[in-house]
Chain A
Amino acid sequence: MNFGDHVRAVHAGGALVVQPRMGMADPALMRAGLEAVERADADTVGTITLDSYTRTGDLESVRAALRDGVGLNGYPIVNYPAAVTRGVVAGLAERGFPVQVRHGSARPLHIFGALLDAGLHATEGGPVSYCLPYGRTPLDESVRNWEASCELAAEYAAERGVRPHLETFGGCMLGQLCPPSQLVAISVLEAVFFHGLGIRSLSLSYAQQTDAEQDAEAIGALRALAGQLLPDADWHVVVYAYMGVYPRTAAGANALLAAAARLAVDTGSERLIVKTSVESSRIPTVQHNVDALEYASAVARDRRRQSAGPDAPAAAPAPGTDSQVYREAAALVAAVLDGVGTGGVGGALVGAFKRGLLDIPYCLHPDNAGRSRSYLDEAGRLCWSELGGMPLQGIAPVRPGRRITSGDLTKALCHVQDRFDAVALDRGADRPVGAAEHELLEGKTA
């Protein structure tokens, strides 16, 4: 079954699909990690995260690392023969455990080739979201490479009767401090970009930000816009647990993950990408990931039971199109799609960044205008303080005057960490995760 069909079927059965990030260089360890995720007491799908040399196309360094036995920080799918990767995933999809390849590349054509060769068909990213936050690859080059990648996937699909699945990463731009309306707009625009290149099985991402109510508005807006712009596609929404500076206490980290799981359930989202309790300090072990998946899944089950039970609060209507986030996101999307010409959606995206119609605050990439600014208001909602050239005049409220200082920035970046750690420490429920605890956890998984 196609990745998207699987997720939608699980959701239709009343459950939230949960997914880790996980990548090991050794094929046997990768297989063992996938099987551990499959066995977890949760509705899981699998992840193969690639290493950073493969991400940047530095295959010579992968070769050297494999030859010299030097560690890689993920699975080098391009350097391994397709048969090796086929072995890693053998039988998994057939028994209801589809696997997605995660990579982070602005130029993913070599990665698409390798994963399709190995019989995999689900991956993620986007020409904007995997370009602007990282490095200096020009946006138009990323767009061209992503176009070629999607065309390759669509051709493969036509030849073999498989439907490839693509997820946008646009809802996660920069991890933090990008106002939700622009996250929604870029996530939708990347989905429209994929759709225009023949991909019909899609998911749209949105990463938990600083305020649960604003996040719910954002996901409502994402669903509304996807419904309008992708009428003939199968799509679902994937929520990411917070992507910014993470709580340092295990209890704070778990509380933040629980909030993400509740957000996913309350908004009817189909899938959740989890973070682990050791996010702030280290790369998680397989067991950390399994624990996080089972915890998030349990929270989601409870939430669903509550909202169906006799004491359930009156169900709030989905905010959909009647929200500030929707009004801003719709204006951004419309302005970009107005620019679609012979260059398609990709060309319109390049043009939009050139003109500053899209402008990501605090993004230093040379192709980002860099004239917009965001801040956290007193209530903890993400707002605009400078609009630059974005078509939001008269739509988005803007705080007049005061410039963001370095102190404000630090405070905003650590706002979620501070809030969730403070709750954990107040309850006396926890202490920062220490070295001894790490060893214990590692021992448990060895």
Chain B
Amino acid sequence: MSGATGGAVGRGAVGRGAGGLATGGAGTVARPALPLPAQRSAEPVPRRGTVVVSSMASDAHTWNLVFLQLLIEELGFEVVNLGATVPDEMLLAECRERGPVLLVLSSVNGHGYHEGLRVIRRLRADAGLAGLPVLIGGKLGITGGESAEHIAELLDAGFDAVFDDRPEGIAAFTGLLGRLSERQAHELR
């Protein structure tokens, strides 16, 4: 199925550790303060808010997205999973409509660095989404183990954290979500 075999899953779409945020690590960099968006309405919201999980336009892999959904749900959030090959316009529209507390982008097809830059610039240029916390992770480049320059570039362009595919990534990611979750619970109290 994927690669020359005709689709996404057949070639082992999932790496060891299964995360699209699969395994980041020394390369995991978070900005010191994670900004949170203001509450958007008085409607009842789930206790810890909604997290949008998404791929980007060129990536047809999905096991990474399924794994992230389960992991984030286990931390007490509602998850909206947009699935595979999400066009930029759709991603922006869904984020505007759903008002998530966090957007998690996962990419495992090797184009994550280029696509991530394009998508974050569009998000940050959108008045309603400029302050949305956005994470990106996975296998972002073709060679594995993203370079420090690429990670710095992604952060400069507006990502709040970047996780490349090193084994410590999941722990760093859940730690970050845990902190977000505590803060969110506090604000909603």
Contact = CB atoms under 8 A, between A and B. Distances in A.
Interface of A: 21-23, 49-51, 55, 73-74, 102-104, 130, 133-136, 172, 174-176, 243-246, 279-280, 283, 362-366, 404-406, 409-410, 413-414
A365 B7 contact: no
Given A175-B9, A364-B62, A406-B74, 18 more contacts: A49-B4, A55-B6, A73-B3, A104-B6, A133-B7, A133-B62, A134-B8, A136-B85, A362-B62, A362-B66, A364-B65, A364-B81, A364-B84, A404-B70, A409-B67, A409-B70, A410-B18, A413-B18
A245 B12 contact: yes
B14 A413 contact: yes
Contacts of B3: 73, 283
A243 B81 CA distance: 24
13 contacts: A21-B4, A21-B5, A55-B6, A134-B1, A135-B84, A136-B86, A172-B1, A176-B9, A245-B14, A363-B62, A406-B18, A406-B70, A409-B66
B65 to A, nearest CB: 6
B71 A406 contact: yes
Contacts of A51: 4
B63 interface: yes
B131 interface: no
Interface of B: 1, 3-14, 16-18, 60, 62-63, 65-68, 70-71, 74, 81, 83-86
B12 A246 contact: yes
Contact of A364 (B4, B10, B18, B83): B83
Nearest to A25: B4
Contacts of A55: 6
Contacts, number: 96
Contacts of A246: 12
Contacts of B7: 104, 130, 133-134
A392 to B, nearest CB: 22
Contacts of B10: 172, 175, 243
Centre residue among B1, B60, B74 by max chain A CB count within 10 A: B1
A405 B70 CA distance: 6
A406 B67 contact: yes
Contacts of B18: 406, 409-410, 413-414
A172 B65 CA distance: 20
Nearest to B170: A406
Nearest to B5: A21
- Top 9 closest A-B pairs, CB basis? A104-B6, A175-B9, A364-B83, A406-B71, A406-B70, A410-B18, A21-B5, A104-B7, A135-B85
B186 to A, nearest CB: 25
Contacts of B60: 134-135
A363 B65 CA distance: 10
Nearest to A24: B4
A52 B8 CA distance: 11
A279 B11 contact: yes
B5 A280 contact: no
A104 B70 contact: no
